[in-house]
Amino acid sequence: MNLQIAKVAGFCMGVRRAMSMALDAAQKAEPPVFTYGPLIHNPSALMLLEARGVHVLEKIPDHGHGTVIIRAHGVCPDDKARILKAGFKVLDATCPRVIKVQMLARHYAGRGLQVLLVGDRGHPEVLGIMGYAGAQGTLIANDEDLRLFLSGPDPGPYILLAQTTQDQERFARWSRQILDRFPGGKVFNTICNSTHKRQAEVKRLASETDAVVVVGGKQSANTHRLAEIVVECGKTSIPVETEDDLDREVLANFRNVGITAGASTPNWVINRIVREIQSLPGAHEPVWYKFMYRLVRFLHETNLLTALAGGVLAWASAFILEARDSAASFLSFSPSVPAAFCYIYAMHTLNRLIDRKAGEFNDPLRAKFMARHRMVFVLTSLAAMSCSMLLAWVIGMPSFILLVLLSLFGVLYAMPILPGRHSPNSLRNLPGSKTLFVSLAWAAVCVLAVPDKWPSEIRLDQWMVFFLVGTLVYLRTALLEVLDVQGDRIVGRETLAVLIGEKRVVRFVTIMAWGEVVASIFSWATGLLPARGLILAIPSLYMIWLSKRFLRGRIGQNLRLESLVEGSFFLLLIPLFFAVSAALCHLFG
């Protein structure tokens, strides 16, 4: 089936900030750590926080110790004062946009104006805002509340506010009715821009699809509203909380399906549902499409796609560095190509088997697949590592020693070797280390293992290719880290995407990719590399294009993006294909 994912889906800014603060508090704040009430309205996220030692405080005790996190919805000022009086340290994770509404309510209530609030009765955000309005506050939650207010006496000077997750059209309609009946009031449209974009996006999805899967907690007000909008558009709404709620028989009847999610829905839950729907056999899909999808998914889940990408990169490196121009040199693989393929397959597979926790959030279907066939992956990884060692021995002693050192480093990378409870106890947990170490390892096995006389002869062209290839792998790994940012943050890993944010990483990739293009051209222009060295600029240009599409929201965070990123290296085969064709034409006249 044709699957469309909403450009605005998952954690909004306020929820993302609250989750980040809670996950940081689990590691650094004075224990025990609590949230006053559920941090957000999503059971999966709450179960995760509970597992990390962040508990829910339902009632404020007279005395206590530790840290209490104020949830994204905020609380009334009296509750916050009671928490402090009880002896807790307070970490305020209230969404900045909610704080704005609270401050407006307090300011105008203090000046004696009536504070009218359009919101959902009993919602935590509404309770907090009404606490700031005090006796001057009036809640309008439904049509009956509106009718009673309009038929009542003149409230005098007033302001009109909105719960940040309210429906834009309903607030506009009720505002007009209130102003018509009681002119002179001041209206503040305090609906979050993210909410407005999310609702506009779901209308677009409903207009272009047959059904829309709405992912979110059953207690989430903004998720309920998204489902209502789908129904109002005349399309089928399929609300789900997790992938277990999917009705696969119903979904199989639709040709075009959209997916949206509430503001408190984690990306890892959306990814699980996307992967589950993608794995369903669509009733209207052609056989070739089903075959291609299953093939790509199989290559992805078995890490063969990553290993093939590494093999292509090793082939391109050998193609650039080897001076021979005969047809045979183009058609024959260097031993470094299968050596790189085997090494990359073995190390990536073993690391994923060890790093199961992050995998369960970042790529749940692959994690399940690898867990189900764990022994097969262990045996094939060991066989691939042995094969890479044998091939390195064939290449020469320096290459063999290099691969042994890289293998030892790969094992040390995941092992806890550094002391300290809060310090990064392994190389893998050093901030930003994954991107750097992966790029260095790939570049070493793809470039330095090429048959040559190193290290007795230092060839500048080889080290230049090492730099260019390492940069390409750095770009690839950084983009893939954007997909894994929530899972990495959950398990406490400070990758580049966690440290500086997803959008900054994508922009950084764009800048580095342009630098790679310039460096490739400079190497050719100065004679450091032959003209065929320019092929390394092709994946860089492709990643620039991919980064721009990602920033514009035209590519979702799913299997498609992962395949597109890994597939960047396969573009290196295009000039190799033309080179082989030209050589064959020359050979056979």
Residue 105 burial (10 A CB sphere; 0-12, 13-18, 19+): buried
Contacts with 329 (C-beta within 8 Å, 6 or more apart), sequence order: 322
Strand order in the sheet with 236-240: 2-5, 256-261, 211-215, 236-240
- 249 membership: H or E segment, kind and range: helix 248-251
Instruction: Tell me which H or E stretch contains 35.
Output: strand 33-36
DSSP state letters, 116-162: EEE--TT-HHHHHHHHHHGGGEEEE-SHHHHHHHHTS----SEEEEE
**How many of the other CB atoms lie within 10 Å of CB of 291?**
11
User: How many Cα atoms sit within 13 Å of 119 on the Cβ side?
Assistant: 29
3-state secondary structure 398-464: HHHHHHHHHHHHHHHHHCCCCCCCCCCCCHHHCCCHHHHHHHHHHHHHHHHCCCCCCCCCCCHHHHH
The answer to whether 109 touches 137, Cβ cutoff 8 Å, is yes
CA dist., res. 296 & res. 279, Å (int): 11
Rounded CA-CA distance 431/167 in Å is 41
Location of structure tokens 């030892």? 408
Query: 199: closest CA among 174, 228, 171, 220?
Result: 228
Query: What three-state secondary structure class fits 285?
Result: coil
Q: How far is CA 228 from CA 42, 175, 219, 262, 269, in A?
A: 19, 21, 14, 12, 21
- What is the C-alpha separation between 454 and 445, in angstroms, rounded? 13
* Per-residue CA distances from 514 to 91, 480, 508 (Å): 42, 19, 10
Please state, in angstroms and rounded to a whole number, the distance separating the CA atoms of residues 511 and 269.
31
Closest CA to 533 of 309, 312, 329, 319: 319
Beta bridge partners of 213: 238, 259
Residue indicated by tokens 């009404």: 130
Residue in 134, 177, 128, 138 with CA at minimum distance from that of residue 158: 138
Query: Which ranges constitute the DSSP H helices of 3-155?
Result: 13-28, 43-51, 77-86, 96-110, 124-133, 143-150
Tell me whether residue 502 is one of the annotated catalytic residues: no
**What's the number of CA atoms in the CB half-sphere (13 Å) around residue 90?**
19
Which of 50, 125, 232, 360 is catalytic? The answer is 125
Bridge partners of 90?
Answer: 68
CA distance 375 to 181: 73
Distance CA 575, CA 312 (A): 12
Query: Burial of 329 by CB count in 10 Å (0-12 exposed, 13-18 middle, 19+ buried)?
Result: middle
* Three-class DSSP category at 349: helix
**Active-site amino acid positions:** 125
